[in-house]
Amino acid sequence: MRKVVLGCKYFWGLNIIHRDIKLANILLNFPDNPELKNMSSIEKIQFLKNVDLTKTKFQALISDFGLSTIKIPGSKGEQSICGTPLYSSP
């Protein structure tokens, strides 16, 4: 989770607002496990169930910037409602 927060902090520093952060838009990459590319979906799920993320090197990648916007000072564009409703704050 820390890696995702650092990623968000980075693009916020560039005045980019993602507007659709959710688990489906966080991808995990395991650079030390190239065999994952040849595994079936079921084998990948089994790998994820058994992997210890505190001991395994991985990258958390933020994806799907389709709803993102660049924050322009004084603009009200970032106040529009968008994204996935079930992930929106009340």
User: 55: which 2 tokens?
Assistant: 């001991």
Q: Which CATH number fits domain 2-87: 1.10.287.3510, 1.10.510.10, 3.30.450.40, 3.30.420.40?
A: 1.10.510.10
Residue extents of the structural domains in the chain: 2-87
Secondary structure of residue 42 in the 3-state scheme? helix
User: 19: which 2 tokens?
Assistant: 């507007």
Average pLDDT for 15-28: 89
> What are the pLDDT digits (tens) for 33-86?
999 999 999 999 999 999 999 999 999 999 999 888 888 877 765 566 677 777
Half-sphere exposure of 42 (CA within 13 A, CB side): 0
Radius of gyration of the chain, Cα coordinates, nearest whole angstrom: 16
Q: If you search the block for the tokens 């190239």, which residue do you land on?
A: 34
Amino acid at residue number 38? N
